[in-house]
Amino acid sequence: MTFNVRPHRQPSGGSARDLVYARLREQILSLELPPGAALSEQESALAFQVSRTPVRESFLRLAQEGLVQVLPQRGTFVSLIDAELVEEARFMREQLEAAVVRLACEKFPPEALKALDDNLLEQKTSMKREDERELFGLDEAFHRVLFEGCGKRNTWQVIQQMNAHLNRSRLLRLVTAHEWDHLYEQHERMARAIRERDADEAERTMREHLRRGISDMEQLRQSYPQYFKQGE
Amino acid sequence: MTFNVRPHRQPSGGSARDLVYARLREQILSLELPPGAALSEQESALAFQVSRTPVRESFLRLAQEGLVQVLPQRGTFVSLIDAELVEEARFMREQLEAAVVRLACEKFPPEALKALDDNLLEQKTSMKREDERELFGLDEAFHRVLFEGCGKRNTWQVIQQMNAHLNRSRLLRLVTAHEWDHLYEQHERMARAIRERDADEAERTMREHLRRGISDMEQLRQSYPQYFKQGE
DNA sequence: ACTACCACACTTGTATGGTAGTATGGAAGT
DNA sequence: ACTTCCATACTACCATACAAGTGTGGTAGT
C-alpha cells in the first residue's frame, strides 16, 4: 500500500447529481450560502441548468448530513449552526484520533512514517510561502496518513463528515501565521512520539491539538448570532 | 429533561420514501435481503405500490449509509459485508462509549442514573421471561441513556448508524441466555462504577462489554462466504 | 379599523416518459 | 466448435407533469 502525502481529491462522479451536490456543499461550508438561507429546488435547478430531480437528490443527501433542513411543502433551508452538534463533532474526533495515534505508537508502517516526515517538510515550505490553502490541505493529509497507516480508512471518512460541521464554525479556516507555527510543532511532536512509541505523549499532544480553536465558535456566534440555533 | 427507559421508536415520517426506506433497511439488516442481492427500482416500486421516485430516493439513502451499492446503468445491489468496515465500526463505538462512560463518572444527572437502575430492573424481568427482543431493546436503551445523560445525543445517533453494519454481522442478534447473564452483569457493574465515580473501572468494563461477539463475524463468514467482500 | 376568508403563488412529494449505457443470448460467419 | 456481432431487454439517470400542503396578501363583510 502507498501513502499519498498530497492533499486528497475524492473521485466525484461526473453525474449531474454529484456536481450539484459538491457545489452546494462548498457554498454552504464557505458560508457563501449562510445558515438560514432558503433554497429552492426550482431555483437551484435553473441556476445549475438541470432539472429538479438531481437538485432534489442533492438536497436529500445534504439533509442527511445535517447541512440543510427540508420542511415538506414549506421549503429547504441551510441548517443553522448547532453549537451542541459542533461540540459533539469535536468530541468524537478527539476520541477517535486519540485512539488512532495510540495505535500508531504500537504499530505503524515505515512507509507511512516516511509519508508523515515528507508531509512535515512540505508544511515547512508552505509556511514560508504563507500558502494557507496548501497548509490546510497538508494538515488534513497528515491526519489522513495517520488513519490509513493504522488501517482505519473508514474511520477517517466518518471524521471527514463531521468536519463539515466543524469547519463551518471555524471562521473560514483563516488561521494566523502564529497559529500555524503552533500546529506544525504539534504535528512534529506527534510524529516523534510515534517513532519513539511514546503513546502517552502522542495522545496528550493529539488531544491538545484538537482542542484548539474552540473559541472560534464563540467569536462567530457573537458576530453572527442569526447563524446559530436557539438564540441564547 | 426526562429519560425514557423504554426502547426508542424514531418518528419515521409517514412519507412514501421513509416507509420504503425503513422497510428495505429492515430487510437488509435481517438478511432477508442477503448481501449481493439485486434490487430494482421498478420491482420495488411494484412491490410497495408506489412510483419509482420514492424507491429511488430510498436507494440513494441506503447507498449513502453503505447498505447498498448503486452501479449506474447496471443495477443496485445489497452491499457485501465488509469485514474491515465492521471492525472499524466496532472500534469507533468502543472509543466513543469508553469516553462517554468516563464522562458519566464525572458528571451524571441523578434522573439518568435512576433511569439506568429502572432499566436494569426491566432487564431482569425480561430475562426471566426470556423475551430476547425486549432485552435487545433494553440493552440499546441502556446505552442511549448513558449518552443522553452526558449530553451526547448526536454522538449516539452516529453510533446507531454504525450499528447497522455491526448488527448485520451478528447472526441476527440471537444471543444465548447465558450471554445475556454476562451482559447484564456488565451493565450492572457500569452503573455501579458511575455511582461510585470509578472512571477506570467503568471504562474497562465498557471496553470489555463492546468487545464481545467478535467471533460472530468469523462464524458467519465461514457459513456464508458469499456474503463477504473480497473472497479470501 | 378590524376580522374572516379565500384565491394564488409558492413549496416539496409523487408519478411517469424518455435517454443512454450495460449485460446477455442468439444468430451469423469463420 | 468457436468467435464476432448485434438485437433486445434490462438498468439507473434525468426531465417533466401533476398532486397536495403552506404562507401571504388582498378583499369583502362587519
Determine how many CB atoms are found less than 10 A away from the CB of residue A56.
20
> Cell for A60?
436529500
pLDDT given at position B170: 76
- Do A156 and A148 contact (CB within 8 A), yes or no? yes
Q: Is the CB of B14 under 7 A from strand C?
A: no
Task: Report the C-alpha gap between B230 and B232 in whole angstroms.
Answer: 6
- C-alpha radius of gyration, chain A, whole number: 19
pLDDT given at position A165: 92
Res B177 pLDDT > 70: no
A98-102, A167-171, B9-13, B196-200 — which is least confidently predicted?
B9-13
Q: Letter for the amino acid at B40?
A: S
Please report the residues numbered 89 through 118 in chain B whose beta carbons come closer than 8 angstroms to any beta carbon of chain A: 89, 91-92, 95-96, 98-99
Domains observed in chain A: 16-78 (1.10.10.10), 83-227 (1.20.120.530)
Res A229 pLDDT > 60: yes
**Separation between the CA of A51 and the C1’ of C10 (whole angstroms):** 18
> Cell for A34?
449562510
- Do B97 and B159 contact (CB within 8 A), yes or no? yes
Task: Report the C-alpha gap between B166 and B97 in whole angstroms.
Answer: 15
Alpha-carbon distance A137 to nearest alpha carbon in chain B (angstroms): 24
For chain B, the average pLDDT equals 90
Q: Please give the residue of chain B at the shortest CA–CA distance from A89.
A: B155
Task: Report the C-alpha gap between A135 and A6 in whole angstroms.
Answer: 11
Res B71 pLDDT > 90: yes
How are strands ordered across the β-sheet holding B38-39? B38-39, B75-78, B68-71
The pLDDT of B35-56, averaged and rounded, is 96
Confidence of residue B174 (pLDDT cuts 50, 70, 90): low
Pairing of strands A75-78, A68-71: antiparallel
Task: Report the C-alpha gap between A86 and B154 in whole angstroms.
Answer: 10
**Separation between the CA of B75 and the C1’ of D13 (whole angstroms):** 12
The full 3-state SS of A172-212, as one line of letters, equals HHCCCHHHHHHHHHHHHHHHHHHHCCCHHHHHHHHHHHHCC
Residues of A in contact with B157 (CB under 8 A): none
Q: Letter for the amino acid at A208?
A: E
Alpha-carbon distance A99 to nearest alpha carbon in chain B (angstroms): 7
Find the angle CA(A30)-CA(A36)-CA(A41) to the nearest 5 degrees.
85
Residue whose CA is minimally distant from D12 C1': B73
The pLDDT of B1-11, averaged and rounded, is 51
pLDDT tens profile A29-81: 999 999 999 999 999 999 999 999 999 999 999 999 999 999 999 999 999 99
Tell me the nt nearest to B52, Cα to C1': C15
pLDDT tens profile A122-166: 999 999 998 888 888 999 999 999 999 999 999 999 999 999 999
Q: Please give the residue of chain A at the shortest CA–CA distance from B72.
A: A15
Positions 29-58 of A with beta carbon below 7 A from strand C are: 39-43, 52-53, 56
